[in-house]
Protein backbone atom coordinates (compact mmCIF):
# COMPACT_ATOMS: atom_id res chain seq x y z
CA UNK A 1 0.00 0.00 0.00
CA UNK A 2 2.85 2.39 0.79
CA UNK A 3 4.51 1.72 -2.57
CA UNK A 4 1.35 2.75 -4.40
CA UNK A 5 1.11 5.95 -2.35
CA UNK A 6 4.74 6.77 -3.12
CA UNK A 7 4.11 6.16 -6.81
CA UNK A 8 1.13 8.53 -6.75
CA UNK A 9 3.26 11.12 -4.95
CA UNK A 10 6.02 10.89 -7.56
CA UNK A 11 3.55 11.08 -10.46
CA UNK A 12 1.84 14.07 -8.85
CA UNK A 13 5.14 15.88 -8.33
CA UNK A 14 6.15 15.25 -11.95
CA UNK A 15 2.79 16.48 -13.16
CA UNK A 16 3.11 19.68 -11.12
CA UNK A 17 6.64 20.22 -12.48
CA UNK A 18 5.51 19.75 -16.10
CA UNK A 19 2.54 22.11 -15.69
CA UNK A 20 4.76 24.71 -13.98
CA UNK A 21 7.39 24.50 -16.71
CA UNK A 22 4.72 24.78 -19.39
CA UNK A 23 3.27 27.89 -17.75
CA UNK A 24 6.74 29.45 -17.48
CA UNK A 25 7.51 28.79 -21.15
CA UNK A 26 4.11 30.17 -22.18
CA UNK A 27 4.72 33.37 -20.19
CA UNK A 28 8.19 33.82 -21.70
CA UNK A 29 6.92 33.32 -25.24
CA UNK A 30 4.03 35.77 -24.87
CA UNK A 31 6.06 38.60 -23.33
CA UNK A 32 5.86 41.76 -25.40
CA UNK A 33 9.03 42.54 -27.31
CA UNK A 34 10.39 46.04 -27.72
CA UNK A 35 11.97 48.68 -25.53
CA UNK A 36 11.75 48.93 -21.76
CA UNK A 37 12.04 52.39 -20.22
CA UNK A 38 12.82 52.66 -16.50
CA UNK A 39 12.93 55.90 -14.55
CA UNK A 40 14.51 55.68 -11.10
CA UNK A 41 16.83 57.39 -8.67
CA UNK A 42 19.82 56.64 -10.92
CA UNK A 43 18.20 58.33 -13.92
CA UNK A 44 16.60 56.98 -17.06
CA UNK A 45 17.48 53.50 -18.28
CA UNK A 46 16.48 52.18 -21.74
CA UNK A 47 16.80 48.47 -22.51
CA UNK A 48 15.99 46.70 -25.74
CA UNK A 49 14.06 43.49 -25.21
* Domain spans, the chain: 2-48
DSSP letter string, 2-20: HHHHHHHHHHHHHHHHHHH
State percent of the chain over pLDDT 70.
96
Mean pLDDT, the chain, as a whole number? 90
pLDDT band of 36, cuts 50, 70, 90: confident
Three-state DSSP class for residue 49? coil
CA-to-CA separations, 47 to 27, 35, 37, in angstroms, rounded: 19, 6, 7
Strand ranges, E, within the chain: 35-40, 43-48
State percent of the chain over pLDDT 90.
49
pLDDT at 1 over 90: no
Q: Quick one: average pLDDT of 21-41?
A: 88
Amino acid sequence: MTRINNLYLIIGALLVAVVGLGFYVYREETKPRGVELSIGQNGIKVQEK
